[in-house]
Amino acid sequence: MVTLNIERINAQSPYRLMPNHRPLFYDFITDYGIDYNIGFTPSDLLPGSEAYEFIITNPHHRKSPRDPKLRQTILALIL
């Protein structure tokens, strides 16, 4: 299984990511009070390889204004 360096991610992310109860998933709250969960889940779309799918959820389904920090946070996680 792949591991992620949360210290490196948080050093580059405008929002502080907190580990979720699921492996490779993180929670954060935006400046607008919107909760997000982001992370990776193992994928079986490519049999015989270690592939992952990127997931982002807004569990409370609250409308979010255009927030450039959200994009920067996602990029900190995937790059």
pLDDT tens for each residue of 6-40: 999 999 999 999 999 999 999 999 999 999 999 99
CB 36 within 8 A of CB 18: no
Q: What is the pLDDT of residue 73?
A: 97
Our CA angle for 32, 11, 40, nearest 5°, is 75
Q: What is the pLDDT of residue 1?
A: 63
Q: What are the residue boundaries of the structural domains of the chain, listed by start?
A: 6-78
Q: What is the pLDDT of residue 45?
A: 87
HEC-encoded secondary structure of the chain: CCCCCHHHHHHHCCCCCEECCCCCEEEEECCCCCEEEEEEEEECCCCCCCEEEEEEECCCCCCCCCCHHHHHHHHHHHC
Whole-structure pTM value: 0.88
As a whole number, the mean pLDDT across the chain is 93
